[in-house]
Structure 1
Amino acid sequence: MTKEAIFSVQNPQMLLPFLLESMPNKGRNKVKSMLTRGQVMVDGRIVTRHDHALRPNQTVKILATVGTPGEDMHGIRILFEDEHLIVVDKPPGLLSIATDQERDRTAYHIITNHVRESAKGGRIFIVHRLDRETSGVMMFAKSESVQQSLQETWHDSVLERAYVVVVEGTLSKAEGTIETWLKESSTRTMFVSRPGDGVKAVTNYKVLSTSGEYSLLEVHLETGRKNQIRVHMQSIGHPVIGDRRYGSKKNPIGRLGLHARLLSFRHPVTQELLTFETAIPSSFRKLFAGESQSRH
């Protein structure tokens, strides 16, 4: 296992040359692999671009490698791990936690096994969930006290949650806010209710690209209700692709068009600001090949 290392930036420089100079014992391919795996943080943010521009006085941290050689993580990529937390990039098609029908092939079960590889009796605790078909950044606590701290201070501790979403059609507004009240039906499907009835839900969106048939959105949540993005997109007539439950009739990529791209929060123990950002899935981008696309 590679140990953590911290370097201070003295002069303006691109990230890859800086890393090669700072770790002369590591080969170029090894350093590139560290970037690809998300092991490099600049001022608390995971950075994967080789040409990321560094400024004087910034701090570059190399995170320890995680995972056991040969360990089957079922497509889960670990972004960060310390004694208090573990942050992962969950693939689509994997449940967050067990159901009556599926107990073993869940993110919770797989990561529990991983934690127990390094600490006998190790446990993880659910902090928040992603739908089965939603991919992206997800966080677990390693103790009940850290879990409770995060859940009790969620609105203050979590500074940003951003998703990328592919929806049907072209939106009339380039950006906007959807604010409704949501309720759950007897079949566990969420729906828009009348004002004051249910729970309030607020979703902000911005169109990144459109092909006419589909639109790629960046979405920020002010509230975290069950299926919030999915039901809100349906409510404005632009359901998430692949989402039959909420009105979609098209599934061009064979999965739900929803990805939790970014999570930024203050560490509940160290108070360090941590930001984890993943790439837009390639299957999303292919739908807009040739289209002008914003970079965020």
Structure 2
Amino acid sequence: MQLLTIGKNQAGQRLDKFLKKALPNAGTGFLYKMLRKKNITLNGKKAEGKEILAQGDEVKCFFSEETYASLSGAGAAEDTSDYRKAYRSLKDISVLYEDENILLLNKPAGVLTQKAKPEDLSLNEWLIGHLLAANAIKETDLATFHPSVCNRLDRNTSGIVLCGKTLAGSQALSRIIKDRSVKKYYQTVCKGKILQESTLEGYLYKDERTNTVQVFPDMAEAPEDASFIKTIYTPSAVAGEYTLLTVELVTGKTHQIRAHLASTGHPLLGDTKYGDCKLNRRMQSEYSLHHQLLHAGRVCFPEEAEGPLAKVSGQTFDAPLPHKFAEILQALNLTPDSAC
């Protein structure tokens, strides 16, 4: 008999999901059969698999040692070399905030949030490497839970990424992202003069083959599977033919800010997918700018008196502008004190 005691990083999930992680070599049908036959029990009782686990619960598996070793992959520890390599090699990532449940990381432009290809190193691997290096987690913990990023930024967008350090933290962050109670604000520089705050609404369709999106003003013109998008922007400074904007991302869809502003005739500086080619060439020549100027600079957490987000309840966190971004603002005379 094998006893598995539920810890904080296993609590809060369904029993069947936990079993699939603890016994990765077992088929789903086999696990349900073992539950029905009471070869797997929860707190000494028969279970269906849909029960939500609590810290301290006891899961017992009545298998031979050989069977359990085969189903759990015992002796085949996860290869952590990618995590440690990412932690060593990815530069300029900083921790803005960390507690026992969550982290806020400041991602530089040029770093993937998550892998696009198996050989990639991303912020997600850096996160686990950071926690391993700090002894905040052990390699054995990765058998049933992987800390992970909870929101994504484009490779060449910099700024704040929300990360779950525990299962409870990941679930709580995912919830406030889904219900939009966490407010996310970006800074960007776009082409043209924008003198008033505005709310943009539309429908965004993503072409998976090209990883590009198209924005439609209303659903009548959009494909059936287009998604509703809402973007609020406020001008912070105007100088010449450029505007520094603060953008609230109400819905968070792929390339939303970039495509939405471009659809109104105000593309982002440096945006090679949706921007102004002639303007981008000039920005490359004069300022060595090779990516869009877009920075996820602020997050505001909702009020939550209890739970894994209690320590950040009602708090606002800011990430400083990257050096290149600040340098271009100064060169273009786009300071918040500029006349609008």
Q: TM-score surpassing 0.5?
A: yes
- 1:263 positional shift: 1.0
Which residue number corresponds to residue 61 of structure 1? none
Higher radius of gyration, 1 or 2: 2
Structure 1 pair 226–157 and aligned structure 2 pair: CA distance change class (3 A): closer
1:278 is the counterpart of 2:296: no
User: How much has 1:214 moved relative to structure 2?
Assistant: 2.4
Q: 2:124 aligns with which of 90, 93, 108?
A: 108
Aligned to 1:6: none
Distance apart, 1:292 and its partner CA: 6.4
Residue 291 of structure 2 corresponds to which residue in structure 1? 255
What is the CA–CA distance in structure 1 between the aligned matches of 2:132 and 2:253, rounded to whole Å? Answer: 31
How many residues align? The count is 224
Match of 1:181 in 2: 203
1:227 is matched with which residue? Answer: 255
Deviations 1:43-65 (A, max 9, x none): xxxxxxxxxxxxxxxxxxxxxxx
Q: In structure 1, what is the Cα distance between the partners aligned to 2:173 and 2:327?
A: 36
In structure 2, distance between residues paired with 1:286 and 1:152: 37
C-alpha separation between the residues in 2 aligned to 1:292 and 1:108? 34
The whole-number CA distance in structure 1 between the counterparts of 2:108 and 2:276 is 21
Instruction: Describe the shift of the 1:177–1:108 C-alpha distance in structure 2 as closer, same or farther (beyond 3 A).
Output: same
Whether contact under 8 Å (2:168, 2:308) holds in the other structure is: no
**Who is 1:151 aligned against?**
174
Identify the range of structure 1 (90-99 vs 201-210) with the bigger mean alpha-carbon deviation. Answer: 201-210
Kindly tell me: are residues 205 and 102 of structure 1, through their superposed partners in 2, closer, same or farther at Cα, counting changes over 3 Å? Answer: farther
1:194–1:167: structure 2 CA closer, same or farther, 3 Å change rule? Answer: closer
SS state at 2:189 partner: strand
* Identity value in percent: 29
Deviation at 1:112?
1.0
Distance in 2 (CA, whole Å) between partners of 1:110 and 1:75 is 11
Unaligned runs of 5+ in 2: 1-86
Verify the 8 A CA contact 1:125 1:144 in the aligned structure 2.
Answer: no
State whether residues 272 and 291 of structure 2, in contact with CA within 8 Å, keep that contact through their aligned partners in structure 1: no
Q: TM-score, normalised by structure 1?
A: 0.68
Write the letter of the residue equivalent to 1:90: K
1:109–1:85 Cα change, 3 Å = same
- When normalised by structure 2's length, the TM-score is 0.60
SS in 1 for 2:153: coil
Map 1:4-43 to 2 at 5 A: none
- SS for the counterpart of 2:310 is coil
Q: Distance in 1 between matches of 2:242 and 2:326?
A: 11
Checking the alignment, whether the CA contact within 8 Å between 1:211 and 1:288 is kept in structure 2 is no
Query: Is contact 1:103-1:109 (8 Å) kept?
Result: no
2:94 match:
77
Per residue, is there more helix in 1 or in 2? 2
Between the aligned partners of 2:228 and 2:309, the Cα distance in structure 1 is 32
Question: Whose strand proportion is higher, 1 or 2?
Answer: 1
| Local SS of the residue matching 1:231 | helix
* Structure 1 unaligned residues grouped into runs of 5+: 1-69
